[in-house]
Amino acid sequence: MLLARLTLPLLLATAPAWADPGYYVQTAYGRPGATTLELRYWSVKNKGWPAGLWPEVGVGYGVNSRWTTGLLASWIGTADTAQRLSSLNWQNQVLLTQGEYPVDLALMLNWAKLQNNPSDQAIEWGPLLQTDIGRTQLNANLLFERGFGGSAAPMSKLKYQWQLRHRWQPGLHLGLQGFGELGRWDHWAAREQQSHRAGPALFGQFGQGPYPALEWQAALLLGSTYGQPGNMFSLRLSHSQ
């Protein structure tokens, strides 16, 4: 779900200040009373560089119908180097509306402790919008990110997420996802330095009931990463009980 680096080569070669739980669309509704275990994996492939790999593991809890909280650990590496712990994250989501308006609104806040430099931290926050049109769920999120500490840039950056998810048949949904980083929230980066990626997504589950035995989603995103052509693949597995 965090804070972006300047480029993939810089990310992998140096000790960047931004946190990194990555490219998964945050949705407005949680699962009250349920504990959710998650395994995530995402990768970035830029031409001429080894693929960057980010495995993640997390646990979340639906405190009530409005508040969901969770912890997430994120590792970083490449296709030909070992993984190392990159960040520890505390994620919170608060639902502000519950069906009384055409579009539901939630607020997301994530705090990250970066492992490369003990003084580096980061936060991400912003509104999450969600609505349904027939069997299709639509999400649009606008997120702000800011780093703190010795090597963190003292500025707030802006990024976006969107998702279209169509309930095609039980156990299998079809969709599209998109992500982007625009630079400083009050002074966007030049177009060639921004990031914009989009592509198809699949969603599925094994088992029925309010909490299926296993839920999964996968997406292939095509586009650019901070001005560099680069494709992304993400995979997410979750189990709630």
Q: Return the DSSP state at 45.
A: E
**225 φ, ψ to 5°?**
-125, 105
Extract the residue ranges of the chain whose pLDDT is less than 70. Answer: 1-22, 118, 150-155
What does the pLDDT read at residue 11? Answer: 45
**191 φ, ψ to 5°?**
-55, -40
**239 φ, ψ to 5°?**
-140, 125
**214-225/195-206 β-pairing:** antiparallel
What does the pLDDT read at residue 238? Answer: 95
Instruction: State pTM to two decimals.
Output: 0.87
In angstroms, the CA 19 to CA 22 distance is 9
What does the pLDDT read at residue 80? Answer: 78
Q: What is the pLDDT of residues 79-91, one digit of tens each?
A: 778 889 988 999 9
In angstroms, the CA 85 to CA 16 distance is 13
Q: How far is CA 171 from CA 54, 167, 199, 203, in A?
A: 27, 9, 21, 8
Nearest to 7 by CA among 165, 191, 200, 181: 181
Residue 70 near residue 59 (C-beta atoms within 8 A): yes
Q: Half-sphere exposure of 3 toward its Cβ, with a 13 Å CA cutoff?
A: 32
What does the pLDDT read at residue 8? Answer: 43
What does the pLDDT read at residue 199? Answer: 96
Strand partners, 209: none
What does the pLDDT read at residue 149? Answer: 74
What does the pLDDT read at residue 150? Answer: 66
Residue 194 near residue 184 (C-beta atoms within 8 A): no
Site of tokens 């949705």? 27
Structural domains of the chain sorted by starting position, each given as residue range(s) with its CATH number in brackets: 8-240 (2.40.160.40)
Q: How far is CA 26 from CA 29, 61, 143, 195, 200, in A?
A: 9, 15, 10, 18, 17
What does the pLDDT read at residue 4? Answer: 38
Strand partners, 109: 92, 125
What does the pLDDT read at residue 2? Answer: 42
What does the pLDDT read at residue 22? Answer: 56
Q: Measured between alpha carbons, how far apart are the two ends of the chain, in Å?
A: 22
What does the pLDDT read at residue 64? Answer: 96
